[in-house]
Chains A and B, each alone.
Chain A
Amino acid sequence: MAAAVTSNRVMPVPQAAASAILVVEDIVMRFVTAEGGLTALDKVSFNVAPGEFLAVIGPSGCGKSTLFNIIGGLLGGYQGRVAVGGEAIYGPHASIGMVFQEESTFPWRNVVDNVAFPLEIAGMPRGERIDRARRFVSMVGLDGFEQRYPSELSGGMRQRVSMARTLASEPKILLMDEPFAALDEQTRLLLGDKVLQIQQQLKQTTLLITHNITEAVQLADRILVMTYRPGRVKRIVDIDLPRPRSSEIVSSEAFGRYVAQIWSDLRAEASRGMVDDESRVLHAGDHGT
């Protein structure tokens, strides 16, 4: 059913802070480099409501990974505020679970020991944490693989293990940085289905960083489009596709229209990024470095 592309506010109006579980306020991040200073993020603000799936999309170089590390508490030295449930956070926090882009399973532990890791850190006794871990292993569809080692699994399976591990810590907010970037398109779509399923089941608030438009539209309730460096919020798009969704949605008209719309926003930013890259390579030789 053709859904009208609903209102796209050019200047994002933040949701009422009271109902938001995650509040990101006026984040400014500057880095010092050999060539001088670099502003990665310039006054980024947005809120995430409980149970919502928010995707942050932007071209390479827009600071999305920086944002990911800031919200996750792994990066400091920024201006602005990150608050969960009203409480400002300053480092890795129990209420935020991170799933990284790179291979992050521990190669020396089997699947169930990997998933039980956060519970082990928290001091849960072995019997209890293995039981709990098994539940999450099952949730990501890896029943029967508990005793296998990551080297025996495919890339997609390993990412599922990483996801199960983070879910096992039952965070209020699931923060994911391009977890499917290294996977092929088909695996990505199918895993996207799995993520949707899990998110519906757990009513998990999720913040997904990605550069893949299809993925964002497939999974998200709202999409935040970022500009190229310095990263700012360019636009917030409500995705009014029906829930529950499956990967079949990619063939619908409304889906295509959302993708086209977001691409038109992104294209300008992505081209700026490309031009910037090229000029940097061009001038790298000038200084005889």
Chain B
Amino acid sequence: MAEIGRLARAPQAWPWRTSVTLLRAAIVLAALLSWQMLAVSGLLYRDVVPPLPEVGVALVTLLSKRDFYWNLWFTIDEIAIGLVLGGVAGLVAGLVIGSSQFIAKAFEPYLYYLGPTPKIIFFPVMIMWFGAGAGSKIAMGAASCFFPIALSVAAGMRQIDVVLIKVGLSFRANPWQMATKIYLPAMRQPVINGLRLGLGVALIGTLLAETKISNRGLGFVVIDAYNAFNMPRLYAILIVLFVLAIGANALITRLGGLDEIKQK
């Protein structure tokens, strides 16, 4: 009965929107309240869960000092270079693998099964090869993002509708025209998705490496706060990191989505 009623009514503006916002606000509020209560209750060892105002102060202190931005820039630099190196290598590898069934069957399994291994365990080797400075961090980032990008590009090439390739061939497009006018436009979505994943793992790889051995970068800020048992500062830097990471992810998704809108 209710079904029929629902069908008969004209579709109205999403009635849930306000309820959802209210619920979200309620959840956030409840979380903050329980945090605060836990903090002042004395149940846990001091400062393990610091009172909210302290975290707030630490956050402001963190963001207002110049060296935070210096460390931020340093980390962004490392991640960017790692992403470019790993991304280009991944793109080339993906194109090669995606273009030939033989090569794919021969080499793709290695990428596929090496992909989900924890890359951080390679870090000692990276330090050996590239030193304890930025080099090893960049190498970690590059090694981390190589795999998802290569696999996405290879998969992207394979999901291209065969008939589109046939159209290009039937009009005798040369290899360059095939690549630029057919392959790349047809692969846009998978490639963007691969980039998004690649950014995520490059970020993690680089930052984890920084926490292990470094005297610069955001990872260093994290481990420094930990070593000093400056909990409010630790929470503050983690909050900032999470916001940045989620933001970067959302940005790439949004950029990829703009394409979708045009094509849909």
Neighbour of B171 across the interface among A92, A103, A151, CB < 8 A? A92
A2 at the binding interface (Cβ < 8 Å) = no
The answer to whether B161 and A100 have CB atoms under 8 Å apart is no
The answer to whether A94 and B172 have CB atoms under 8 Å apart is yes
- List B150-177 residues whose CB lies under 8 Å from chain A: 161, 163-164, 166-167, 169-173, 177
Query: How far, in angstroms, from A170 to B167 measured CA to CA in the complex?
Result: 15
Query: How far, in angstroms, from A97 to B172 measured CA to CA in the complex?
Result: 11
The answer to whether A74 and B172 have CB atoms under 8 Å apart is no
Neighbour of A117 across the interface among B169, B171, B264, CB < 8 A? B171
The answer to whether B171 and A169 have CB atoms under 8 Å apart is yes
Q: How far is the CB of A285 from chain B (nearest CB, A)?
A: 28
Of B5-13, B57-65, B90-98, B180-188, the segment with at least 4 beta carbons within 8 Å of chain A is: B180-188
Residue of A nearest to B182 (CB): A106
Q: By CB atoms of chain B within 10 A, which of A94, A107, A165, A169 has the most? A: A107
The answer to whether A104 and B167 have CB atoms under 8 Å apart is yes
Q: Could you say which residues of chain B place their CB within 8 Å of the CB of A121?
A: 171-173, 177, 181
Task: Report whether over half of chain A's contact residues are helix, strand or loop; otherwise say mixed.
Answer: loop
Residue of B nearest to A93 (CB): B172
The answer to whether A149 and B164 have CB atoms under 8 Å apart is no
Q: A108-B263, A149-B262 are in contact. Are A92 and B172 (CB under 8 A)?
A: yes
Q: A118-B171, A120-B181, A121-B171 are in contact. Are A107 and B263 (CB under 8 A)?
A: yes
A72 at the binding interface (Cβ < 8 Å) = yes
A98 at the binding interface (Cβ < 8 Å) = yes
Interface size for chain A: under 10, 10 to 19, 20 to 34, or 35 or more residues?
A: 20 to 34
Q: A117-B171, A120-B181 are in contact. Are A103 and B161 (CB under 8 A)?
A: yes
The answer to whether A151 and B164 have CB atoms under 8 Å apart is no
Query: How far, in angstroms, from A104 to B182 measured CA to CA in the complex?
Result: 12
Q: Could you say which residues of chain A place their CB within 8 Å of the CB of B262?
A: 149
Q: Could you say which residues of chain B place their CB within 8 Å of the CB of A117?
A: 167, 171, 181
- List A176-226 residues whose CB lies under 8 Å from chain B: none
Q: A102-B161, A103-B161 are in contact. Are A74 and B166 (CB under 8 A)?
A: yes
Task: Report whether over half of chain B's contact residues are helix, strand or loop; otherwise say mixed.
Answer: helix
- List A71-96 residues whose CB lies under 8 Å from chain B: 72-74, 91-94, 96
The answer to whether B170 and A74 have CB atoms under 8 Å apart is yes
- List A48-90 residues whose CB lies under 8 Å from chain B: 72-74
Query: How far, in angstroms, from A120 to B161 measured CA to CA in the complex?
Result: 21
Q: Could you say which residues of chain A place their CB within 8 Å of the CB of B177?
A: 121
Q: How far is the CB of A211 from chain B (nearest CB, A)?
A: 18
Q: Could you say which residues of chain A place their CB within 8 Å of the CB of B182?
A: 106
Q: Could you say which residues of chain A place their CB within 8 Å of the CB of B186?
A: 106, 108
* Interface 1/0 per residue, B180-211 and A, CB below 8 Å: 01100110100000000000000000000000
Q: How far is the CB of A100 from chain B (nearest CB, A)?
A: 5
Residue of B nearest to A110 (CB): B262
Query: How far, in angstroms, from A72 to B185 measured CA to CA in the complex?
Result: 25
* Interface 1/0 per residue, B228-264 and A, CB below 8 Å: 0000000000000000000000000000000000111
* Interface 1/0 per residue, B133-165 and A, CB below 8 Å: 000000000000000000000000000010110
Residue of B nearest to A73 (CB): B170
Query: How far, in angstroms, from A165 to B163 measured CA to CA in the complex?
Result: 14
Residue of B nearest to A102 (CB): B163
The answer to whether A98 and B170 have CB atoms under 8 Å apart is yes
Q: A102-B161, A103-B161, A121-B177 are in contact. Are A151 and B263 (CB under 8 A)?
A: yes
Q: How far is the CB of A95 from chain B (nearest CB, A)?
A: 11
Q: Could you say which residues of chain A place their CB within 8 Å of the CB of B167?
A: 98, 100, 104, 106, 117, 165
The answer to whether B263 and A72 have CB atoms under 8 Å apart is no
Q: How far is the CB of B179 from chain A (nearest CB, A)?
A: 13
Neighbour of B170 across the interface among A72, A103, A120, CB < 8 A? A72
The answer to whether B181 and A92 have CB atoms under 8 Å apart is no
The answer to whether B163 and A108 have CB atoms under 8 Å apart is no
Q: A108-B185, A151-B263 are in contact. Are A92 and B170 (CB under 8 A)?
A: yes
Q: How far is the CB of B177 from chain A (nearest CB, A)?
A: 6
Query: How far, in angstroms, from A97 to B170 measured CA to CA in the complex?
Result: 7
Q: How far is the CB of A160 from chain B (nearest CB, A)?
A: 15
Query: How far, in angstroms, from A151 to B263 measured CA to CA in the complex?
Result: 7
Q: A121-B173, A121-B177 are in contact. Are A104 and B164 (CB under 8 A)?
A: yes
Q: Could you say which residues of chain A place their CB within 8 Å of the CB of B169?
A: 74, 92
Neighbour of A104 across the interface among B163, B185, B188, B264, CB < 8 A? B163
**Which are the 3 A-B pairs with shortest beta-carbon distances?**
A98-B170, A102-B163, A108-B185
A sample of 13 more A-B contacts (CB under 8 A), given A74-B170, A92-B169, A118-B171, is: A92-B170, A92-B171, A94-B172, A98-B170, A103-B163, A104-B163, A106-B182, A106-B186, A108-B263, A117-B167, A117-B171, A120-B181, A151-B264
Q: What are 22 A-B contacts defined by CB distance under 8 Å? A: A72-B170, A73-B170, A92-B169, A92-B172, A93-B172, A94-B172, A100-B163, A100-B167, A103-B163, A104-B161, A104-B163, A104-B166, A106-B167, A106-B186, A108-B185, A108-B263, A109-B185, A121-B177, A121-B181, A149-B263, A151-B264, A169-B171
